[in-house]
Amino acid sequence: GNYRINVKAILPCNSNTSTIQFNLYLFKTSRNTTDLKGNITTLKEISDDSLSGNYRINVIAFLPCNSNTTVQFNFYLFKTSRNTTDLRGNITILKELYDDSTSVRVSMDLKDKIGRWQSNAYVYKSSKAFTSLKYLLGAEYEKCVYSFGVNGTSHKTIPPGTYTTKGYDVSNFPANTNLPRQIFYGTYLFRVIFEEKNGNQCGCSSFVIEIKRPWEIE
């Protein structure tokens, strides 16, 4: 419903490694009003949209996770040119998948200045995995599933088996998709987890990706 925000405290973080440092505190001006006071220190020039904006995705690595699940992702990356990369390998399904029988959780951990992963910089959840992925991937969804030999339009279920792709170009993102058009630049651990309705994990896939400015080269 309708709400108001009551700011209780400001907690410092990464003050020694960040190029932007927030030195802020709260000052109570009345029973119901609070001022934000202090300063922000920038250690280098920051131009408009220098931290986030239009981007392209550079996939650096595939990381397997939880190989005991009923949906197993066995991928590797193959460089087809200086600026293009194919996703190759297979997906093994051990039991039939029904349309929207699983939920999906997508998380992106941001790599900080000293190499640590800052968890859950971005998080997306949906109880209808396939409907959500079809929307988010847009026109790329059909290209992706067809590359594995699956007709994503006519089939509402995917039978058990191993589905192999000889190459799906992952260099086009976010073009032809409904992914966010602006995001903070940096290196991310991108993880997709599928769960059954009972909460059991049935599949997991992780990638290390770079969110780069459109004109940046490798």
DSSP of 123-171: EEEES-HHHHHHHHHTHHHHHHHHHTT--TTT-SEE-SEEEEEEEEE-S
pLDDT at residue number 50: 65
CB under 8 Å, gap of 24 or more: what pairs does 144-150 form?
A: 144/168, 148/90, 148/91
pLDDT at 16: 65
User: Which class does domain 53-212 fall in?
Assistant: mainly beta
Distance CA 14, CA 97 (A): 44
With a cut of 60, say whether residue 61 has pLDDT above it: yes
Residues of the chain with CATH 2.70.220.10: 53-212
pLDDT value of position 156: 66
Is the pLDDT confidence value at 17 over 70?
no
pLDDT > 90 fraction of the chain, expressed in percent and rounded:
60
Average pLDDT in the 183-211 region?
94
pLDDT, residue 20, reads 80
- Contact (Cβ atoms closer than 8 angstroms) between residue 193 and residue 104: yes
pLDDT digits over 98-145, tens only? Answer: 778 899 999 999 998 889 999 999 999 999 998 999 999 999 999 999
Give helix 139-147 / helix 129-137 axis angle, nearest 10°: 110
Binning pLDDT at 50, 70 and 90, where does residue 34 land? very high
Question: What gap in Å lies between CA 175 and CA 51, rounded to an integer?
Answer: 20
Structure tokens at 149: 């030999």
